[in-house]
Amino acid sequence: MSAPSTNSLRRLVIPLGVVVLIALPGIILRLLGADISPLLGMLAFGAAIVAAAFALAWAGEAAEVDISGGLTVGLLAIIAILPEYAVDLYFAFTAGSDPSQAAYAAANMTGSNRLLLGFGWPVILLVSYLAYRAAQKRNATLDIDIESRPFAIRLPGDGRVELGLLLIASTLTLIIPLTGQIHVFLGVILLLIFTYYLYRVSQGETEEPDLVGVARSIGTLETRSRRATILLIFILSAAVILLLAESFATSLVEGGQALGIDDFLLVQWLAPLASEAPEFVIAIIFALRGKSAMAIGMLLASKVNQWTALVGSLPIAHLVGGGGWALPMDARQVEEFVLTAAQTVLGISILLTLRFSGRWAAGLFVLFAVTFIVTGQEARYAVSALYAVIALVLCVRHRRHLWPTVSAPFRFPARKVTDPPEGVNVHR
């Protein structure tokens, strides 16, 4: 087994060193508990979180050498949404002793969910298209998961695992708006679905990784060194994200309050914008590198995480915090949940054919933007109905894909390991 070259080590150490230098100011300010302005907080803490996200992207790509791509995407999605877990579970926990905080827990959860699908998916499609056009201009081949006419991202067949579990979870969570609460019993079921999801994606095929840049430098390390490096990056990046998530969100909220923005809207949109930043950055990096399907796959995995583990954890955090066996939701929160659930079902129906095209990206973004214009309860329920009607039409149109999607999580493919590219070690 050949040792990595000096140039290869340099290409690894220098980028990681730059990441550390960018992250250090935010980490130091947080550990010192310095009293800083919201603007400085947004810049320092935000830069550190983005730097950690870059490191996660590199380690996540390199991890494909040792574990299945599906599990890599799932683990990356979990780590990337740690800030959201920290903020949401904090609100749910404090709601146990202060019921007024329950509204913020629901607001943060629904806001982050809709932001992920209504903004995140279309942005990845746009970035993928721009990267594709740039590759065309320099006569380069970008990737194999793009269809140029009409432009669309093509997901692999195992993408139905996430879609199927998301559809099952969405059906179960219909009980939430009907009862006006999230019960601990439902939470346990959703957490079990999430646990099964991690097990299921771990059984996928280990395919040949196509590594470039820093990820390739990690992949060419000796087996033990590579695994130790990946694990260390995962742990340190997750620690940075968790350490700074609340401070970044607080800086955003305080900045918004100074501008006179409503607290509920701050928690629903500005805080999720901060907490979703790592996964957006990682997904955009993948899209720029020609891994568009992996980018959408990561956001889809994040959606599964949010709709199972996050929603399922809220009532448990509420109970641990001194509350009852259910996290209550008022009329406004029920309305938000209905809108979020309807958007989720539409997202699933769009991907039934495993293709995500520009027109559907535009449609998701327009419907997402409309909810900022029509703020009345009746109007927002009308948008929810529109989501549902379009989803129903798509499900009828693509009904032959419904059963393969629902059954996909319970079909286990034969494991297949292919040879790695030259210079990448996979000795186990």
CATH number at residue 298: 1.20.1420.30
What is the per-residue pLDDT for 65? Answer: 75
Higher pLDDT, 362 or 106: 362
Domain membership flag for residue 411: no
Domain membership flag for residue 114: yes
Pairwise CA distance, residues 169 & 148, whole Å: 33
Asked if 292 and 130 count as a contact pair (C-beta separation under 8 A), the reply is: no
Higher pLDDT, 188 or 105: 188
Higher pLDDT, 424 or 45: 45
What is the per-residue pLDDT for 421? Answer: 47
Nearest of 247, 293, 306, 289 to residue 111 by alpha carbon: 306
pLDDT at residue 324 tops 80: yes
Domain membership flag for residue 427: no
The first and second tokens of residue 183, run together, are 């019960």
What DSSP designation does 417 have? B
Of 135-139, 207-211, 288-292, which gets the smallest average pLDDT? 207-211
pLDDT-derived band at 295 (thresholds 50, 70, 90) equals: confident
pLDDT at residue 252 tops 80: no
**For all residues of the chain together, what is the average pLDDT?**
81
pLDDT at residue 419 tops 60: no
Domain membership flag for residue 267: yes
What is the per-residue pLDDT for 418? Answer: 47
pLDDT at residue 426 tops 50: no
What DSSP designation does 322 have? T
Model's pTM, two decimal places? 0.77
Domain membership flag for residue 425: no
Pairwise CA distance, residues 345 & 340, whole Å: 9
pLDDT at residue 5 tops 70: no
Pairwise CA distance, residues 128 & 123, whole Å: 8
* DSSP reduced 3-state for 36: coil
pLDDT at residue 398 tops 80: yes
Nearest of 394, 396, 392, 387 to residue 368 by alpha carbon: 387
Domain membership flag for residue 99: yes
Pairwise CA distance, residues 80 & 60, whole Å: 11
Mean pLDDT of 398-413: 88
- Taking residue 260's Cβ as centre, other Cβ atoms within 10 Å add up to 6
What is the per-residue pLDDT for 12? Answer: 79
pLDDT at residue 192 tops 50: yes
Mean pLDDT of 118-136: 88
Cα(first)–Cα(last) distance of the chain, in Å? 13
pLDDT at residue 360 tops 80: yes
Q: Domain count for the chain, please give it.
A: 1
Alpha-helical regions (H) of 203-327: 213-219, 223-258, 263-265, 271-275, 277-288, 292-305, 311-320
Strand partners, 153: 146, 356
Sign of CA dihedral 17, 29, 105, 270: negative
Strand partners, 181: 328
Domain membership flag for residue 419: no
List the domain range (segments joined by +) for residue 289.
6-406
pLDDT-derived band at 274 (thresholds 50, 70, 90) equals: low
Of 112-121, 162-171, 208-217, 321-330, which gets the smallest average pLDDT? 208-217
pLDDT tens figures, 341-352: 999 999 999 999
Higher pLDDT, 15 or 139: 15
What is the per-residue pLDDT for 291? Answer: 81
pLDDT tens figures, 22-80: 999 999 999 998 888 888 887 888 888 778 877 877 887 787 777 665 666 666 667 66
pLDDT at residue 397 tops 90: yes
Pairwise CA distance, residues 304 & 195, whole Å: 11
Of 112-116, 386-390, 400-404, which gets the smallest average pLDDT? 112-116
Asked if 117 and 363 count as a contact pair (C-beta separation under 8 A), the reply is: no
Domain membership flag for residue 414: no
